[in-house]
Amino acid sequence: MELAVDQDLSLLTLVLSASWVVKGVMLLLLVASLASWWIIFLKYYLLRREQRRTDGFEREFWGSGDVRVLYKKISESPDKSGIEEVFRMGHASFSNLAAQAKANPQHVMDNTRRAMRAAYQRELDALESHLPFLATVGSVSPYVGLFGTVWGIMNSFRGLASVSQATLAHVAPGIAEALIATAIGLFAAIPAVVAYNRFTHDIDRLANRLDVFIEEYSILLQRQVIRT
């Protein structure tokens, strides 16, 4: 059984000659891949910047002689990192409550912790934005590509019904164009899965650092309440 040598099996020809269903699958996967790559680059830049700014804040906070100066500086900044916003909310809440006459120390600390926890949750939600999309692309794309492959192979075998003698030349183009859909699905899924796992790990590390800072700053504020 010999394949016709003049048959064009180039990638572009296979894509253009595919059925409309397979073309639609390829287009959908291509859009999903481009969108996931845009999110990957954006999230990578944001997380690297957040880590650098967290490092800088911790050095400045623990090396600062007066946190009120640091609080004023951060409050005047239009762009705050996650840990800076947690610190700002905690310090503002503590200052307002501690200034009240006959303020209950436990009440002051409970409200201060709640303020920092609320800021912590908002920052964590912002860091985790778009991650569900990467997870969806990573888990669904192979199955979408497989659907295109199955549809293309099905059409190839249906075309054999009108041929008196079936040869490899009749089914090879259809099978080849169908397998392209699976390849595109894997091309979309693999980077999305790798990026999702990496970003989840980085966000967990940042979340742990914020948790530690909240506890350490709460201890410092509690000591201040006790002294007063």
pLDDT (0 to 100) of residue 68: 86
- Other Cβ atoms less than 10 A from the Cβ of 45: the count is 10
Q: pTM of the full predicted structure? A: 0.81
Distance CA(114)–CA(65), nearest Å, equals 26
Alpha-carbon distances of 91 from 60, 84, 102, 221, rounded to whole Å: 16, 10, 19, 9
Q: Are 192 and 141 in contact (CB under 8 A)?
A: yes
pLDDT (0 to 100) of residue 16: 62
Q: Are 151 and 19 in contact (CB under 8 A)?
A: yes
pLDDT (0 to 100) of residue 1: 38
The C-alpha angle 194, 196, 50, rounded to 5 degrees, equals 115
> Within its chain, how far is the Cα of 18 from the centroid?
33
| Per-residue tokens: 142 | 């192979």
Distance CA(94)–CA(228), nearest Å, equals 13
pLDDT (0 to 100) of residue 5: 44
Distance CA(66)–CA(227), nearest Å, equals 17
pLDDT (0 to 100) of residue 173: 63
**pLDDT beneath 50, residues of the chain:** 1-6
The C-alpha angle 126, 128, 132, rounded to 5 degrees, equals 130
Alpha-carbon distances of 182 from 3, 135, 145, rounded to whole Å: 23, 18, 4
pLDDT (0 to 100) of residue 134: 95
Q: What is the 3-state secondary structure (H, E, C) of 118-162?
A: HHHHHHHHHHCCCHHHHHHHHHHHHHHHHHHHHHHHHHHHHHHHH
pLDDT (0 to 100) of residue 175: 73
